[in-house]
């Protein structure tokens, strides 16, 4: 992948750069560093990651003044507080080095430091990148030039040549720094989620704002994935990462389901992802980490599922509409012997049926009242034959649409097989609200005066639609009762699930 390849180069360049880099959190703790930084500070990743910058190292035998530490801290704080890059031209630090006999000694070195704040989409500082350049030789040359005004012309020429080479190296380093900063900006601002994991335990080294949003803005830097995302256990993703690290072969997922806990103590949320895990290799070709890149496609997946359901429902609804029209015609014919009055009654009922479709369309976007939906879905069968009793209940668009489908299905089945298929049959609908703090709709649909009913041998599309709509779309419960004296259905549906939809 092109974008993946770019980030693989970024990760490799970061670790292969001859200049030391260290990534700090806003409270100046070490979040990451490259190999050059570990080498020059004679430290290891395990020893310093997560520790405050100024307590992570032995400062040596007093060769560096506390003022120098304050200078570095002040520069870092300026970069963090102003959100602007801050440059420290010269600072002296004593660096530990290992002697041939195994003992440790300290050597004064001069450094030029650049501190670059890294911002998230909201403009808040999430990291500070410290890039240091060793200018010890350049500084000593400058000091030497001040002290050696009487040096020979050859010495001056030689010193100038060395100084020129040092300055050229600095210029090259500044150019590389600019390129790296641009790459980091691209990484952090990428629209899809990206992260860099290192080692066989898949420790988070870097991740962008989109990844933080995906997982609920948890503190994961420096943590192995099994500790950072414990709820993912048993979902296969740890194993995918282990396989990529062991084999060096990338792994790609399409519309892959993962359940994440996006806030402490919250229930798991189902998310669908398109993603790729790509190995990151060192100079020898060995896998040292994994680059994670992808997109949250939850909305697209759910839209596709809903579209399929709607197409199935449309096909089924066309058949039901034809059956409803036939039922309306038969019921109207029973009570209107005169052709003229038959036509008027028949036309009125067909108009009520079309109004139901209009109401459903409006409720899909604006919401609707439960009683209005129920009235429009049953009016075509005769308002005097359906008794409704309950308070006004405002429904969010999705809930209104789902309940409209359910009432239409119940009314159609009642007209085809139940109480509304008999001359004296009636439907009684009662509802109430329970628990005002977390309101829950309790509704009973009961048919009386119709033909005897019995438990169906197999479950039809209508029953499946009702049960799926209640349990999946409305997160509620439904029971269908096939008693000998008439069909009944009881519903229990939470109404706080979609408030504000």
Please provide the DSSP assignment of 347-406 as one string. Answer: HHHHHHHHHHHHHHHHHHHH-EEHHHHHHHHHGGG-GGGEEEE----EE-HHHHHHHHHH
Tens digit of pLDDT for each residue in 262-283?
A: 888 888 999 999 999 999 998 8
Higher pLDDT, 253 or 325: 253
Q: What confidence score (pLDDT) does residue 189 get? A: 67
How far apart (Å, rounded) are the C-alpha atoms in residues 39 and 20?
8
Q: Quick check: 445 pLDDT over 50?
A: yes
pTM: 0.39
In this predicted model, which residue has the larger pLDDT, 104 or 3? 104
Q: Give the confidence band of 71 by pLDDT, cuts at 50, 70, 90.
A: confident
- The pLDDT, as a whole number, for residue 357 is 60
Give whichever of 170-174, 201-205, 378-382, 400-404 has the largest mean pLDDT: 201-205
- The share of the chain scoring above pLDDT 70, in percent, equals 71
Q: What is the pLDDT of residues 471-497, one digit of tens each?
A: 887 889 999 999 888 999 999 999 875
> Residue 252's pLDDT is what?
93
Give whichever of 66-70, 146-150, 169-173, 326-330 has the largest mean pLDDT.
Answer: 66-70
**Residue with more model confidence, 174 or 29:** 29
Q: Nearest Cα to 187, choosing from 268, 129, 253?
A: 129
- 132-141, 228-237, 453-462 — most confident range: 228-237
Average pLDDT of the residues in 352-372: 65
Tell me the C-alpha distance between 414 and 328, whole Å: 12
pLDDT band at 48 (very low <50, low <70, confident <90, very high): confident
pLDDT tens-digit profile of 401-421?
678 778 888 988 898 889 999
Sign of the torsion formed by the C-alpha atoms of 192, 195, 200 and 201? negative
pLDDT of residue 68: 80
452-474, pLDDT tens digit by residue? 888 888 777 678 778 888 988 78
Q: Interhelix angle for 397-416 vs 370-378, to 10°?
A: 30
Instruction: Please report where in the chains the tokens 């939809």 appear, as a residue.
Output: 501
Q: Out of 43-47, 74-78, 148-152, give the one with best mean pLDDT.
A: 74-78
**DSSP category for residue 457:** S
Helical pair 298-335 and 397-416, crossing angle rounded to 10 deg: 40
Q: Which two tokens stand for residue 196?
A: 């860099």
Q: What average pLDDT does this structure show over 92-105?
A: 69
Higher pLDDT, 64 or 138: 138
DSSP state of 266: P
Please give the share of the chain, as a percent, with pLDDT higher than 90: 27
Task: Say which residue the tokens 């530490």 belong to.
Answer: 69
């Amino acid at each position: 992948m092109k974008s993946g390849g770019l980030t693989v180069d970024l990760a490799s360049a970061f670790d292969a750069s001859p200049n030391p880099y260290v990534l700090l959190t806003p409270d100046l703790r070490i979040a990451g560093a490259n190999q050059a930084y570990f080498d020059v500070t004679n430290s290891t990743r395990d020893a310093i990651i997560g520790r405050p910058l100024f307590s992570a190292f032995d400062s040596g035998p007093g060769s560096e003044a506390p003022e120098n530490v304050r200078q570095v801290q002040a520069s870092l704080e300026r970069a963090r507080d102003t959100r602007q890059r801050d440059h420290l031209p010269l600072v002296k630090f004593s660096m530990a080095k290992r002697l041939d006999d195994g003992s440790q000694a300290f050597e004064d070195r001069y450094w030029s430091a650049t501190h670059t704040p890294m911002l998230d989409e909201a403009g808040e500082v999430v990291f500070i990148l410290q890039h240091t350049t060793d200018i010890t030789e350049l500084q000593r040359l400058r000091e030497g030039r001040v002290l050696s005004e009487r040096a020979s012309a050859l010495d001056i020429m030689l010193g100038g040549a060395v100084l020129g080479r040092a300055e050229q190296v600095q210029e090259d380093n500044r150019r590389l720094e600019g390129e790296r900063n641009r790459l980091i900006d691209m990484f952090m601002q990428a629209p899809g989620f990206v992260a860099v994991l290192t080692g066989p335990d898949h420790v988070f080294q870097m991740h962008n704002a989109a990844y933080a949003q995906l997982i609920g803005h948890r503190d994961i830097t420096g943590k192995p994935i099994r500790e950072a995302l414990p709820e993912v256990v048993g979902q296969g993703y740890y194993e995918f990462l282990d396989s990529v690290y062991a084999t060096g072969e990338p792994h790609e997922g399409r519309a892959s389901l993962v359940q994440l806990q996006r806030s402490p103590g919250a229930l798991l949320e189902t998310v669908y992802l398109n993603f790729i895990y790509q190995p990151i290799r060192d100079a020898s070709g060995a896998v040292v980490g994994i680059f994670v890149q992808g997109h949250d496609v939850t909305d697209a997946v759910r839209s596709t599922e809903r579209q399929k359901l709607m197409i199935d429902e449309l096909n089924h609804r066309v058949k039901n509409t034809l059956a409803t029209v036939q039922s309306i015609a038969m019921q109207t014919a029973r009570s209107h012997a005169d052709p003229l009055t038959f036509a008027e009654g028949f036309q009125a009922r067909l108009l009520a049926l079309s109004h139901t479709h209009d109401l459903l369309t409006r409720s899909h976007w604006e919401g609707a009242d439960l009683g209005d939906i129920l009235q429009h879905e049953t009016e075509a069968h005769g308002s005097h034959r359906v008794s409704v009793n309950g308070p006004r209940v405002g429904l969010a668009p999705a809930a209104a649409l789902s309940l409209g489908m359910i009432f239409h299905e119940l009314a159609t089945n009642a007209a085809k097989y139940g109480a509304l298929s008999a001359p004296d049959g009636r439907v009684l609908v009662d509802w109430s609200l329970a628990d005002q703090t977390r309101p829950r709709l309790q509704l009973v649909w009961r048919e009386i005066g119709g033909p005897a009913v019995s438990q169906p041998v197999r479950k039809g599309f209508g029953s499946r639609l009702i049960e799926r709509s209640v349990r999946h779309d409305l997160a509620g419960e439904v029971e269908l009762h096939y008693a000998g004296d008439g069909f009944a259905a009881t519903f229990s549906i939470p109404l706080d699930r979609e408030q504000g939809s």
